[in-house]
Amino acid sequence: MNARLPRKKKRQAALLGLAFDAEDGQKRITRGPNFLLAGGSPDTHGLMQETAVKLNEHLDRKGKQLADVSAGELRDILGDIHGE
């Protein structure tokens, strides 16, 4: 009899960015390896894109995946990105 051991599931995480300040009727959507951004004015959507790219660059430098980062660490990283 071959008993199977339960496999550990790989943790997954993604960033979801939503903005509702678009007044020009455009639908903006940007997808990345671990994020989905939707909506916003050109400026707001651009800021979300910049944040997602910088977050991924930071994680790459640290050799981490988004799923490896705690909520507190993510908050700290985003604060560093935006100079808070």
Q: Closest by alpha carbon to 30, among 1, 11, 53, 10?
A: 53
At 3 the pLDDT is 67
What are 6-55's pLDDT values in tens digits? 777 788 999 999 999 999 999 999 999 899 999 999 999 999 999 999 99
At 10 the pLDDT is 80
For residue 34, give both structure tokens: 């671990």
For residue 46, give both structure tokens: 């651009």
Q: Please determine, for residue 66, whether its predicted confidence score (pLDDT) is greater than 80.
A: yes
At 37 the pLDDT is 98
For residue 18, give both structure tokens: 């939503």
**Residue 32 forms beta bridges with which residues?**
35
Residue with tokens 């991924």: 56
**Residue 71 forms beta bridges with which residues?**
none
Cα angle value 39/60/43 (rounded, 5°): 25
